[in-house]
Amino acid sequence: MEEPESLKLLLADFALIPGYKVLVHGGGRSATAFAQKLGIESKMVDGRRITDRNMLEVVTMVYGGLVNKNIVAGLQALNVNALGLTGADLNYMRSEKRPVKEIDYGFVGDVKEVNAEILADLIAKGVVPVLAPLTHDKNGNLLNTNADTIAGETAKALAKYFEVTLMFCFEKKGVLMDEKNDESVIKHLNPEIFEKLVAEGIIQGGMIPKLENSFEALKSGVKQVVITRSDLIKMKNTGTTIKL
């Protein structure tokens, strides 16, 4: 999303996907780069950003502004009628500030409510929502929220209105049997296979919560989840398909 050439290719592929669609994006590298220019330190714990008040201003500018509007403009150039939104826009996603336990993540939001009806109305009218990883608490505060969470919660909420496929994109072709072999894609996963591969140490690290979120989405009515590389999104039978 954050490199002009790769973004251009991704949006061209996304535009070719038939039917109704929603795009959820991040922007972490851009936020880190802008923070550095402003002399603001980026703090991460286990891959999660600590969002103090200064960093909240940065991610709001970068996620809700620069990255989101570049995507919207790129899609409009491809005749995709996109609309960029944060969770505060149309009150489509409300969250609460994450309580402090072992770690204080700052202004990070845990999703509590999704106004799917208004998103479904937009989608049915041919609008393609482009969702930034920002939510709000309905008390005037924006909150930084993980993009995978935004995607999962949106997919679950829209499953009441549409047959939904949730697709997570990352740098590999799918979930791998051997992390050193990019061709060792596990084509299909269900809860039983997942538990077996976790026990064997084949699936580990950050992939575990991503897959746990995938199964939660399926239990909430999402038809299937696909994990694949971003340049393969328009291809059928690609990546790892997850079903119950």
pLDDT of the chain, 244 residues: tens digit per residue? 778 888 999 999 999 999 999 999 999 889 999 999 999 989 888 778 899 999 999 999 999 999 999 999 999 999 999 999 999 999 999 999 999 988 899 999 999 999 999 999 999 999 999 999 999 999 999 999 999 999 999 999 999 999 999 999 988 999 999 888 989 999 999 999 999 999 999 998 878 878 988 999 999 999 999 999 988 988 888 899 999 8
CATH class for the region spanning 1-162: alpha beta
Question: Domain residue spans in the chain?
Answer: 1-162, 165-244
pTM for this entry: 0.92
Which residue pairs from 32-36 have beta carbons closer than 8 angstroms and sit at least 24 positions apart in sequence? 34/58, 34/61, 34/62
Identify the pLDDT of residue 209: 79
Identify the pLDDT of residue 218: 96
> What's CA 138's distance to the chain center, in Å?
22
Identify the pLDDT of residue 2: 72
Q: Smallest Cα–Cα separation from 143: which of 15, 37, 26, 55?
A: 55
Question: Hey, what are 42's tokens?
Answer: 């980026």
Helix (H, G, I), strand (E, B) or coil at 241: strand
Identify the pLDDT of residue 1: 72
Identify the pLDDT of residue 206: 77
- Are 82 and 128 contacting, i.e. CB atoms less than 8 angstroms apart? yes
Identify the pLDDT of residue 127: 98
